[in-house]
Structure 1
Amino acid sequence: MTALFVLSLWWTFWPPQDAPEHVEADALLVLGPHGARMADADKFMDVGLAETLVIATSGECEDEAAYRVVCFRPDPYTTQGEAIFLRDMAEEHDWDSAAVMTVDHHVTRSRLHMNRCFDGDLYMIGVEAEGLWGSWWRTYLYQNTGLAHALISPGCESEPPGWLEDLRERAKDIVRT
């Protein structure tokens, strides 16, 4: 049990990821909420990491840049919805590769969703979080219930069982308090 806990800490807080300086992709997808990550995204785009910047957002989005910018609201408004949008955009624009940028503690779960929906070369880039949602244990709980949710819901667009969705919502409530 201790080994599983240590392993889960590793995949939550120190997941394997790709170094941005070694990535060249058709698109850079910034998972929401994008907030402070945009400075990193702009820096990566300025050095030619990708041709198109894709931003998951719930509101307005700046799209004035020297490169193509696509802003969207995922449906559903989850990591799974972001992965579905990436799949659809890749099919529409013949993308063979994509870099996905999120916070470090979200890399493992987002990689799972993206790999289920996107068939091309996938690069995961983690950036430092703007805080750990109050404490490390809340971040750990939220990310690992989300990972369980993803593991039990195989496929790109599959829905989880109702009991798991209830558990996930309870975890969200704990994180928010």
Structure 2
Amino acid sequence: MTGHTPRSRRPGGWRVAAAGLIMVALAAVAGRPVFVDPQLDPLRRADAIVVLGGTPYERFDLGLELAREKWAPELLISASTGLDDPHMDRYCRTAQPFRVSCFEPRPWTTRGEAQEIRRRADAEGWRHIIVVTFTPHISRARYIVGRCFDGELTMVASPGRTDALFRTWMYVRQSAGYLKAFTESGC
């Protein structure tokens, strides 16, 4: 017999649980300005509006609205759900009074989107773009797109979910995305 009883293990287990709760609380507090209340920028005219992909589709509606309000003469949409997604026809295949182009990112990540933004910006001479994504993604998108695009970024958040379960999932997902972005070099 080793001399350990179940009671002798409880204090250590309690300390681990308390330390875990403290770490979760610290992560929640530290993540709030990144995932819940990120830096958003005031709108001003730009060379293009770029809508980063994903669902729900509200961000594409916001991109169309901004283009209709003439914040930029061109709308570039990342059709990350696929160009064959019938929901994307409204955005990618409907005539508009401004230039619209859609693309599938390669790879299907924010980095793939940023690389396409760089290609388009180089070809079109863009110096300022409005980037539309959802709130928990704003800070990470600013970091990744900013690594590829040398011009000015105006980050705009589309409407989205705000429930506790979604926010918890976004803390985990966006944190993992940041770790991945920090380990990648270049654009």
- Give TM-score, length-normalised by structure 1: 0.80
Cross-structure match for 1:161: none
Cross-structure match for 2:64: 42
**Contact (CA 8 Å) 1:109, 1:143: kept in 2 or not?**
yes
Identity %: 31
Cross-structure match for 2:50: 29
Q: Rg: which structure is higher? A: 2
Question: In structure 2, which of residues 107, 118, 123 is the aligned counterpart of residue 76 of structure 1?
Answer: 107
Seen in structure 2, the aligned counterparts of structure 1 residues 128 and 111 have a Cα distance that, compared at 3 Å, is: same
Shift of 1:40: 1.3
Matched, 1:51 2:82: no
Task: Give the letter for the 2:45 counterpart.
Answer: E
Cross-structure match for 1:14: 37
Deviations along 1:93-150, one digit per CA (max 9) or x if unpaired, are 1111111100011001100111100001111111122566953211110011111111
Shift of 1:3: 4.9
Q: 2:150 & 2:35 partners in 1: Cα distance?
A: 24
Cross-structure match for 2:149: 118
Q: Which moved more, 1:80-89 or 1:136-145?
A: 136-145
User: Structure 2 stretches of 5 or more lacking a match?
Assistant: 1-22, 85-91
Moved beyond 6 Å, runs of 4+:
none
Cross-structure match for 2:15: none
Task: Give the letter for the 1:113 counterpart.
Answer: I
- Give TM-score, length-normalised by structure 2: 0.76
User: Structure 1 stretches of 5 or more lacking a match?
Assistant: 157-177
| RMSD, aligned CA | 1.9
Deviations along 1:70-92, one digit per CA (max 9) or x if unpaired, are 10001111000000000000101
**Contact (CA 8 Å) 1:63, 1:70: kept in 2 or not?**
no
**Contact (CA 8 Å) 2:58, 2:159: kept in 1 or not?**
no
Corresponding pairs, count: 154
Seen in structure 2, the aligned counterparts of structure 1 residues 9 and 86 have a Cα distance that, compared at 3 Å, is: same
